[in-house]
Amino acid sequence: MSQLKIYNTLARDKQVFVPMEAGKVGMYVCGMTVYDFCHVGHARMMMAFDVIYRWLMASGYEVKYVRNITDIDDKIIKRAVENGESIKQLVERNVMYMDEDIGALNMLPPTVVPRATEYVPQMLSIIEQLEAKGLAYKSEDGDVNYAVRGFEGYGKLSGKSLDDLRAGERVDLKSTKRDPLDFVLWKAAKESEPAEAKWDSKWGKGRPGWHIECSAMCSATLGEHFDIHGGGADLQFPHHENEIAQSEGAFGGEMVNYWIHNGFVRVDNEKMSKSLGNFFTIRDVLKQYDAEVIRFFILRAHYRSPLNYSDAHIDDAKGALNRLYTALSTVDIDAESPTVDWDEEHAVRFREAMDDDFNTPLAVAELFDLAGEVNRSKSLDAARQLKALAGVLGLLERAPQAYLQGGSDAGDAGVDDAISRRAAAKKARNFAEADAIRAELTAAGIILEDKPDGTTTWRRA
C-alpha cells in the first residue's frame, strides 16, 4: 500500500506524512474574514482542504479539522459602519451566506469552527508571554507590536532572510515600529470605533491583530504543536510566517509539522482577488452552473496548481461530469450507496494518486477509466466502484437520472451515447445504421473521428 506524501511548504519538498499521534490528525486552516460574500478563490481554498480532510478520513485517520472565522477586522468594522448595522449583524449574515455556499458545494463542515472574538483572552495571554520574552513591545501610537529581530526563525517558511524580506517592505515613515517587518499584535482602540470592537487589556482598550487570532485559535483547539496548518498561498507571507513567530516565540519548540498551501485562481492570467476587482462570488457562479460542476471543475486541477477560471473551462468540466453520470445512468444503481473495494485495480491507482500529495487530476482520470468500462460492459460492479470512488471526492452522489435531467446540459452525454450506439451497430455489421447515426451527428454539428485503436473521438464543427 502506498504511503501518503504531502508537499510541505516549510521543507519545500514532498514528505511522507507521519502524524504526531498514530491514527489521529490535527489540521488548522485559515478561514474567512466574513465582511462580504465568498468568491471563487475562497471556494478553491476551502475545497482544497475539504478534499484533504476527506482523504485523511478515507485513509483511516480520525481528523480534527479546525477552520476559523475572522469576525473582527478593519474591513468588518468599516463595512458595518458603512451599512449602519452592528458588527454582529454583519458577521452573522455573512457566516450564514458562507455556510449556504459551502454546503451547496458539498463541503463537509469542519470539526471545530472557532470565531476570533471568542478567543481574545487566549490572544492576550500569548501577547503577554511574548512581551515577557522581549518579543513584543508597546510603541508610541499605543499598538503592541511583535519584534521580529528577536525571533531567530523569522523567514523560515518563506525561505528568506530578514534582509530579503525587509527589501520587499514599503518603508512607512510615520511608523512607530522598530523594524519595518514588525507587525501588530494588539491595535489600540480609536475613539471613532464601535464599542463592540474594543476589548480591555493591560495595554489599554483595543483589539487583536489578524495574525495573533490564528495563533490563539489553533493552539486553543489543537495544542501548541500540531500536524497540519493550511491556507491559500497568499497567506504564506506574512500571515503564516507571523503565526510561526508568535506561537514558537511564545511557546518554544515547533508549531506545525506540515504547512500546506493551495494555488490561486486566475482570470486572464491574473490572480482572482477582491482587490483586483476580477472576482466572481460563489453565489453568482451558482446561478449559472450546477454546484457539482463547480466542485468537479475545482477538483480536476491539482490543489497547488493555478486554477484557470473561464466559462470555457467550466463548460468543459460540465461535459466531463455529464459523461460520468451518463455512464452510471446506463446501469441500475440509483438507490445504491456502494463502498469502495480498495483491492480493485482502479482503486489501487486512485489511492496512489491521492497519496501522492492529493493528486485529484490523476484520481479523476481513474473515474473516467471506470466510466469507460461501465459503458463497454454495463458491469454493475464497475459502476458501483465508480460511484464509491467518486464519493470519496464528494462527487456523483446524486441519482444519475436526476442529475442528467436536472437542468444540466446533457448534450455531450447524448453525443457519447450516440457514439456507443454507432459502435454497437458497426460491431453487428449494421453499417447502414452506423452511417445514419454519423449523419445525424454531422447534421447536429458534431464531427467524429475514428481512431486506429477502434475508439472514436468527437468535436464540435
Tell me which residues touch Zn ion (CB under 5 A).
30, 214
Nearest to 422, CA basis, from 436, 407, 402: 436
Contact 83, 28 (CB under 8 A): no
Is 39 labelled a binding residue? no
| CA distance linking residue 433 with residue 17, whole number of Å | 56
- Please, what is the minimum distance in Å from the beta carbon of residue 110 to Zn ion? 14
| CA distance linking residue 127 with residue 377, whole number of Å | 65
Is 239 labelled a binding residue? yes
Nearest to Zn ion of 30, 222 (CB atom): 30
- What residues contact 314, with CB distance under 8 A and at least 6 apart? 289, 293, 294, 297
| CA distance linking residue 184 with residue 209, whole number of Å | 6
Is 218 labelled a binding residue? no
Is 274 labelled a binding residue? yes
Nearest to Zn ion of 218, 413 (CB atom): 218
Rounded to the nearest 5°, which phi and psi values hold at 261?
A: -125, 130
- Please, what is the minimum distance in Å from the beta carbon of residue 229 to Zn ion? 8
- Please, what is the minimum distance in Å from the beta carbon of residue 362 to Zn ion? 30
- Please, what is the minimum distance in Å from the beta carbon of residue 213 to Zn ion? 7
- Please, what is the minimum distance in Å from the beta carbon of residue 30 to Zn ion? 3
Nearest to Zn ion of 122, 385 (CB atom): 122
Fill in the DSSP letter of residue 74: H
Nearest to Zn ion of 150, 238 (CB atom): 238
Nearest to Zn ion of 30, 32 (CB atom): 30
Is 30 labelled a binding residue? yes
- Please, what is the minimum distance in Å from the beta carbon of residue 244 to Zn ion? 11
Nearest to 232, CA basis, from 14, 5, 47: 47
Please give the helix or strand (H or E) that residue 256 lies within, else none. Answer: strand 256-262
> For residue 360, which amino acid is it?
T
Nearest to Zn ion of 229, 387 (CB atom): 229
Does residue 180 have a cis bond before it (omega within 30 degrees)? no
- The angle formed by the CA atoms of residues 39, 40 and 41, to the nearest 5 degrees, is 90
Q: Residues comprising the binding site?
A: 30, 214, 239, 243, 274
- The binding site for Zn(2+) consists of 30, 214, 239, 243
Q: Summarize the annotated binding site for ATP as residue ranges.
A: 274
